[in-house]
Amino acid sequence: MIPAPFEYERVEFVDHAISLLSDDPEAKLLAGGHSLLPLMRLRLARPSKLIDISRIRDLSYVREDGDRIAIGALTRHHDVASSELLQAECPIVAYTASLIGDPQVRHMGTIGGALAHADPAGDLGTVMLALGAELVVRGPNGASRRVPAGSFFRGLFEPDLAHDEVLTEIRVPRTGSRGWSYLKFHRRAIDWAIVGVAALAPDGDGAAVALTNMADRPIRASGVEEALAGGADPATAADRAAEGTSPPSDAFASAEYRQEVAKVLVRRALEEAMSR
């Protein structure tokens, strides 16, 4: 289908984008367009105006910042996947970005767009949740706030972003030698996850395990984390992977099937993370 009519304006500065958003409650930001434009073509989204932020150069970077790695929100998935800094310091992020869609999607889609879209089937939100990443959000009058990934995803396609706020940066911890795994169960390499699992091996704070497409947002597998903290082995802990989940039933899989897959995938992810 053809999208409903809309205006278009390209901006070079974040504050200009914020001011245009403030002026028009029906306007929307356009980054890589790989989630928004399909919705517009189906007329599930009908913004009055697209504010194209994709050319804001100073929002595309991966750099060291103290004990964190800072990733500009407009960094494309391909650049995240091929960042030597992330491959060395937080490899789960680079690896997961390399699994997204196909080369075209990875060359257009941005990490900020993926997180702001807040699709529970998206891979990167789950990884950010497991890592305890921080998301930097800018609003009117230069206001800026940092949101923990754990509270950024509020529901289905519902990020903690006001209409006139822009996600500008994602801050991930250096995981160093800590073992990790991201496993994605799907039918074809380019497909979205039917179920996905991000796992970080236990350190001083215990293990971190998060799930993709097992609720209306990315969620921590708290039962698994609790079992591991209590000394359970990965296979025993993974049996609790379905606790607290509410996965969808759709054309790809039933909710019950997803819950069974999650148990298998969590076990494999923990074994991989602990052996790395």
Residues that bind ligand FAD (CB under 6 A): 28-36, 38, 73, 100-101, 105, 109-110, 112-114, 116-117, 122-124, 161, 166-167, 192
**Residue 161 or 221: which CB sits closer to ligand FAD?**
161
CB of 258 to ligand FAD, least distance (A): 16
CB of 206 to ligand FAD, least distance (A): 26
Query: What sign has the CA pseudo-torsion 132, 115, 195, 190?
Result: negative
**Residue 34 or 267: which CB sits closer to ligand FAD?**
34
**Residue 124 or 237: which CB sits closer to ligand FAD?**
124
CB of 94 to ligand FAD, least distance (A): 14
CB of 204 to ligand FAD, least distance (A): 30
CB of 101 to ligand FAD, least distance (A): 3
**Residue 37 or 85: which CB sits closer to ligand FAD?**
37
Q: Which residue's beta carbon is nearest to the bound ligand FAD? A: 109
**Residue 124 or 201: which CB sits closer to ligand FAD?**
124
